[in-house]
Structure 1
Amino acid sequence: MTITQIMVFVRVAETLNFTQAAQELHMTQPAVSHAIASIENELDVQLLLRDRKKGVLLTEVGQRVLLEFRSILQSMQKVQQQVAAEKGLDIGTITIGAFPSASAYFLPPIIHQIRQNYPNLVFDLQEGSTNEVREWVHSRQIEAGLILLPDPLVDTIPLYSDQMIVLLPDGHPLHAQETISIRHLDGQDMILCKGGHEVAIMEAFQREKSHLRINFTTHNISTLVNMVRQGLGIGIVSELALSMFPHELTVREVSPQITRQIGIAVPSLGNASLAVQLFVRTAKELFTAEMADQQIL
C-alpha cells in the first residue's frame, strides 16, 4: 500500500464520487478505481459500496479506516514540514475550518501575520456551521478548527469571549433602557440566529426565571437584521457576528451577560504539524491578550 493509494482512498471517501476524485487528483478514473481495488485486496475487506441508486457509500470498516488514513496523511505532512524546517524552507499546507463570523474575524489577521514570514505556506480554508467544524476536527478532516468551547474530545486553546447583545426595532419601548435585563425580555417576541449559542441563551433565561418566546429562528445575520427592521421582534445575537454586518438599528447590552467562548481545536497539540503549531502560536499572540482585556473590563 502506497501513500498515493491512501490519498486516493481519502479523496474518494470524502467526495463519494470517483470522477470528482480523479479530477481533483489529476488522475484518470481507471487509475483511481485501481488504487481503491488494490487497497481492498491488500486489506481483504470492502471499504466502499457501489450502489447504482445511492452512488458510492463507505462501509462501516471503511469509515474507521478513513480516520486512520487521514492520520497517516497528516503525519506525512508533518514529516515534510520537519524536513523543510531543517532545510530553512517554509512549505506545506494547513487545513483550517471555521464558522462564518469566526472565519471573517480571526483568519485574515492570523494568515496575514504568518504570510509575512512564511509566504509559501498554503492555507486550505473550509467554512461550515459550528457543529460541522467540530465534527471535521473530530474526524481529522481538518487539522485545526475555530469552534465554540468547551470540547473535551480534542485539545483546545481559548481565544475570545463573545457577548450576546439585543437588537431593537425602531420605536420599541425598551429603547429607554441603557442595559436590558433578561427579565425585560420575558415573553417578548424574540428572533434568534442559529450559531451554536442557542443553549447559552436558553439557560440564561431559565436562570432568570424568564420566558424565552422565540418568534423566529434564522440561519444568517442579514435575515435577522431585516426581520428586526420590519418590527417582527427583538433580535438577540452574537456581538462578533453582528459586527460583520452594517446596520442602523439600536443595540443594547444584556444583563446578566450571556457569553460564548471561541477557540482553536486540534485533534492533538502534541502531534500537531509545524504549520498547525505556527497557526496556534500566532492566534494566541494576536488574540489572547485581547481576551484578557475583555475579562478585565
Structure 2
Amino acid sequence: MTLTQLEIFSRVAELRGFTLAAQRLGISQSAVSHAMKSLEQELGIELLRRHQSHVELSDIGEQLLLRARAMLGLANTLRQEAADARGMKTGTLRIGSFGPTSSIRLLPKILQRFRQAHPGIEVHIDEGPDRQVIQWLEERRIDVGFVVLPEERFDTFALLEDQMVALLPRGHQLAAQSALRLKDLCDDPFVLTEAGSAELVSRLFMAARLQPNIRYRCSQLISTLDTVSRGDAITIVAASSLPDDVSAGYEKRPLLPAVKRQVGLAVLDQRQASPAALAFIKLATTVSQQ
C-alpha cells in the first residue's frame, strides 16, 4: 500500500469517477484503474462499486476512506514539518471558506500576506456552505476552515465579530421600526440563505420557540439579496456579508436584542496541524486585529 494509491482512492471517492480523478491528478485513467485494482487486491476487499457512469464506495470503502484521508493528512504534516525545517519553501495548504464574510472580507487580505511570506506553499481553496466546510474538516479534505463560532468539535481561533441584521424590501412596513424582534419576522415570507449562517439563524428561531415562514432557500447570498430586493421575502443575514452598495433594493435593521456572530478558523487538531496551517492561522489572527 502506498500513499499514491491512497491519494488516488481519495480522489476517486470524492469525484465518483475514474476519469475525473485522473484529470484532477494529471495521470491517465488506466493508471487510476490499475492503482485501485492493486489496492483492492492487496486489501482483499471491494472498495468501490463500478457502474456505467460512475463509481460509489462500498460500505467498507466508506470506513477506510476516513482512515486513508487521516493517513494522507499526517503524511502532508510530515512533509510540511520537513519543509518548515528548510524554511517552509514548499508544501500544500487546503482551505475551506464560506460566504462573503470569509471569502471576500477576510480571505483575500490574509492570502496576500501569506503568499508574500510563503511563496512556495501551494494554496487550494474550496468554497461551500458553512456546514459543508465543517464536513470537509471532519473528513480531512481541508487543513483549515472558516467557521461560525462557537464550534466545539475543533480547535478554533476567533477572527471577526459582527451582528446579525434583518433585511427588508425598500418601503416594507417593518422598515418604520428602528430595530426588529424575531417575532416581527415570522409572518412575512422568509428566505433562508445557506451561504454562511443558516444554522445560526435556525437556532435563533428555535431558541425563541418561533417559526419563520420559510418560502425560499438560497445557496448563494446574491440570490437571497435579489429575493429581498424584489419584495418577495425578508431575511436575517450577517452585517459583514453585505456588499457596500448604498443603492441596494433592501433596508437593514438591527435585531432586538442584538445578536452577535463570530467567525474564526478551525482545525481538526491543532497538535497535528501542518506548519503551513499553523502559519496561516497565526497570520490570519494578526491581520484580523489590524
TM-score normalised by length of structure 2: 0.87
Q: CA deviation at 1:244?
A: 6.5
Residue 255 (structure 1) aligns with: 256
SS of the aligned residue for 1:255 comes to: coil
CA distance in 1, matches of 2:209, 2:129: 30
Give the match for residue 95 of structure 2.
96
- Say what the alpha-carbon RMSD is for the aligned residues: 2.5
Q: CA deviation at 1:18?
A: 1.3
| 1:101-129 Cα deviation digits (max 9, x unpaired) | 22222211111111121112111000111
- Deviant stretches of 4+, over 6 Å: none
Give matches, 1:226-241, under 5 Å.
226-241=226-241
Q: Secondary structure at the match of 2:255?
A: strand
Alignment check: 8 A CA contact 1:97 1:133 kept = yes
In the comparison of the two structures, how many residue pairs are matched? 288
Paired letter, 2:83? A
Unaligned runs of 5+ in 1: 291-297
Question: What is the CA-CA distance between 1:2 and the residue it aligns to?
Answer: 2.0
Q: Aligned-pair distance for 1:29? A: 2.3
Letter in 2 for 1:117: A
Alignment of 1:1-297 (within 5 A): 1-52=1-52, 55-101=54-100, 102-185=102-185, 187-195=187-195, 197-205=197-205, 212-243=212-243, 247=248, 249-287=250-288, 289=289
Q: Which has the larger radius of gyration?
A: 1
Q: What CA distance in whole angstroms lies between the structure 2 residues aligned with 1:223 and 1:135?
A: 24
Deviation at 1:258, TM superposition (A): 2.5
Letter in 2 for 1:167: L
CA contact (8 A) 1:193 1:224 kept: yes
Shift of 1:140: 0.6
Q: Does the 8 A contact of 2:16 with 2:55 survive in 1?
A: yes
Amino acid paired to 1:169: P
Identical residues among aligned pairs (%): 33
- The amino acid that maps onto 1:79 is L
**Structure 1 residues 233, 33: closer, same or farther in 2, change over 3 A?**
closer
Between 257-266 and 57-66, the greater mean CA deviation after superposition: 257-266
1:185 CA displacement = 3.8
Aligned residue type for 1:124: H
Describe the SS at the equivalent of 2:147: strand
CA distance in 2, matches of 1:152, 1:29: 41
**Unaligned runs of at least 5 residues, structure 2:** none
Shift, 1:91, TM fit: 1.0
Residue 153 of structure 2 aligns to which amino acid in structure 1?
L
Residue by residue over 1:137-179, the C-alpha shift from the partner in whole angstroms, topping out at 9 and shown as x without a partner, is 1011111111223333322222223421122323233333333
